[in-house]
Amino acid sequence: MAFEGLSEKLNSVFKKLRSRGRLTEGDVKEALREVRLALLEADVNFKVVKDFCAQVSERAVGAGVFESLSPAQTIVKIVHEELTALMGTMAQPLKLGNRPPAVILICGLQGAGKTTHAANLGGLLKKQGHRPLLAACDVYRPAAVDQLKVTAGRHGLPVYDEGQGDPVKIAVNAVGHARKHGNDVLLIDTAGRLHIDETLMDELRRIISATSPSEILLTVDAMTGQDAVTTAAAFHQSLSLTGLILTKLDGDARGGAALSVRAVTGLPIRYAGVGEKTGSIELFHPERMASRILGMGDVLTLIEKAEQTLDEKKAAELEKKLRQASFTLTDFLEQMAQLKGMGSVQDVLGMLPGIDKKALAGASVDENAMKRTEAIILSMTPSERDNPAVLNHSRKRRIAAGSGTRVEELNRLLKQFEAMKLMMKQMTGKLPGGKMPKGTRGRGGLFPGMM
């Protein structure tokens, strides 16, 4: 995550405060000095840091803080609230209006993830019940149209294109096409440049004038730090943007752009891009992001990911199989696929409150083990997956050779699988009505672990 370094430094500051019990004004000033340095090292805009620390200081040295039962926790609460305010206070979804098609123009510099996130945003809107259409108006970059078609195809979304034509004309024709075919949202993927120039801005202004978009969103690469803030300010001055998509927040950059761009430009961060995979986009929640930065976890986002990824029908079928002790390796494989759909195990664990990020970084969550497990099961025949008892030594050697693993790894997987089946059978037998535990029902989340 982009804020890993900042999160570690802030938690170190607050740990010192908690260890001192009663606080003095000097303690708070020293802590804020360290917070200021941590924010500057995270590439947060200098003026933003100055204003942020002044606001926290004003609240922290106010009446009642030092007399409270837990002053350190009170200061953490103040920092959390100010971080949330810095990033926009609350989530701000798209404003699509009442007259379809709602036009959303996506712009940005090359390399910021514009085309990928145009398709991912379309996929997200499709899940919400809309019928999006994407318009390929990047007619200059080689293979840009093909890239949009491929990424849109992963979401089952249609793309309107006219090849290497006039971008303004293509955009206008796309609006008519969307209206004719019942698409209620049109996402226009525009051309980018390696740098901001007047030619780019003029073309974008002409598309905006011709299509009257309800949203003009700029994709900003979080890994470019203060350059992202400068880029956003320049685009906003020329185009009157309505919001931002902050991409690559899953990277290892310092993350200062997310904390600076809202304060500098006044624009809301609408969405966060958390990877290049299909569906790697989420509504930006300032409060949840502040919680992640301060190591408080993000359970709400984790639950939403589970609800979007995990199949309720399959979860009910799985519950029935576990009660009847008929859970197979095929079911196990499906559970792995659903878990992988939620993102990396490291990221999922990072959303849990109370997880020590430093310990997590050194915990070596072996996702390659999941791949080996998947390869082993896929190397079995359907009948072998349903009845592992038929696996004699020659079959095991064939499966190990087919999956590029060793027989010992296969034996370990089978042993873990049988232990998991026994454990789940015991759990369902002890619960009233043989029902699954509350925390596992309806989520499809019954994954026994990793090798």
Question: Domain boundary residue among 269, 297, 325?
Answer: 297
Burial of 141 per CB tally in 10 Å (0-12, 13-18, 19+)? middle
Residues 311, 405 within the same domain: yes
Residue 251 lies in a domain: yes
Q: Give pLDDT, residue 428.
A: 55
Query: What is the pLDDT at residue 447?
Result: 42
Tell whether 218 and 137 lie within a shared domain: yes
Q: Identify whether residues 234 and 309 lie together within a single domain.
A: no
Is the pLDDT reported for residue 442 higher than 50?
no
Residue carrying the six token digits 């029908």: 313
Last residue of a domain, one of 279, 297, 315: 297
- pLDDT, residue 281, reads 86
pLDDT digits (tens, 9 = 90+) for 321-357: 656 566 788 878 877 776 666 555 555 555 554 445 5
What does the pLDDT look like over 156-167, one tens digit per residue?
Answer: 999 999 988 899
Scored b (16 or more CB within 10 A) or e, 225-241 reads bbebbebbbebbeebeb
One-letter amino acid for residue 215 of the chain: E
Structural domain that includes position 15: 4-87
Q: What is the DSSP-derived secondary structure letter of residue 138?
A: -
pLDDT band at 302 (very low <50, low <70, confident <90, very high): low
Is the domain of 116 the same as that of 238?
yes
Residue type, 408: E
Mean pLDDT of 400-411: 91
Based on the fold, state whether residues 323 and 278 are members of the same structural domain: no
Query: 58-62, 81-85, 207-211, 424-428: lowest mean pLDDT where?
Result: 424-428
Report the length, in residues, of the chain: 451
Residue type, 280: S
Q: Which amino acid is at 284?
A: F
Task: Give the domain-ending residue among 281, 297, 313.
Answer: 297
Cα torsion 379, 382, 383, 387: sign: positive
Looking at the fold, whether 349 and 220 belong to one and the same domain comes out as: no
Distance CA 110, CA 24 (A): 50
CATH of the domain at 419: 1.10.260.30
Residue 446 falls inside a structural domain: no
For 83-238, list the strands marked E by DSSP: 102-107, 132-137, 159-160, 185-190, 215-221
278-289 pLDDT, tens digit each: 667 888 888 888
How far is 198 from 229, CA to CA, in rounded Å? 19
Answer with the residue of higher pLDDT: 249 or 417: 417
Give how many domains the chain has, as a whole number: 3
Task: Express each pLDDT in 97-121 by its tens digit.
Answer: 778 899 999 999 888 888 999 999 9
Which contiguous run of DSSP H or E holds residue 164? none
Q: Can you give the pLDDT at residue 158?
A: 95
d(CA 366, CA 178): 46
pTM of the entire predicted model: 0.65
Kindly tell me the number of DSSP H helices and DSSP E strands found in the chain.
20, 8
Residues 144 and 248 in one domain: yes
Would 94 be classed as within a structural domain? no
Q: How far apart, in whole angstroms, are the C-alpha atoms of residue 303 and residue 297?
A: 12
Shared domain check, 285 and 261: yes
- pLDDT tens-digit readout, 148-197: 999 999 999 999 999 888 999 999 999 999 999 999 999 999 998 878 88
d(CA 252, CA 5) in angstroms, rounded, equals 9
Query: Is it true that the peptide bond before 71 is cis, omega within 30 degrees of 0?
Result: no
Residue 206: inside a domain: yes
- 38 pLDDT more than 60: yes
pLDDT at 300 over 60: no
Q: Quick one: pLDDT band at residue 437, thresholds 50, 70, 90? A: very low
In a domain, residue 447? The reply is no
| pLDDT at position 394 | 93
Mean of all residue pLDDT scores within the chain: 79
Q: Cβ contacts of residue 238 below 8 Å, gap of 6+?
A: 201, 204, 205
Cα 15 to Cα 10, 12, 294: the distances in Å are 9, 5, 11
pLDDT in tens, 244-264: 998 877 655 556 777 888 888
Helix (H) or strand (E) run with residue 244 in it: strand 243-247
Q: Is the pLDDT of residue 363 over 80?
A: no
336 and 355 share one domain: yes
Residue among 319, 326, 318, 256 at smallest CA distance from 293: 256
Cα of 309 vs its chain's centroid, Å: 13
Highest mean pLDDT among 10-19, 31-40, 65-74, 177-186: 177-186
Co-location of 283 and 155 in the same domain: yes
What lies within 8 Å, CB to CB, of 331 at 6+ separation is 318, 321
281's enclosing H/E stretch is strand 281-283
As a whole-number percent, the residues of the chain with pLDDT over 70 amount to 74
| The pLDDT value given to residue 98 | 79
CATH code for position 63: 1.20.120.140
Please state, as a whole number, how many other Cβ atoms lie within 10 Å of the Cβ of residue 392. 8
Q: Which of 89-98, 235-244, 294-303 has the largest mean confidence? A: 235-244
Answer yes or no: is 218 within a domain. Answer: yes
Confidence category of residue 427, pLDDT binned at 50, 70, 90 = low
Read off the pLDDT of each residue in 408-412 and give the average, rounded to a whole number.
91
The whole-angstrom separation of Cα 192 and Cα 200 is 7
Whether residues 14 and 37 share a domain: the answer is: yes
Shared domain check, 225 and 152: yes
Query: Rounded to an integer, what is the distance from CA 6 to the centroid of its chain?
Result: 18
CATH value at residue 108:
3.40.50.300
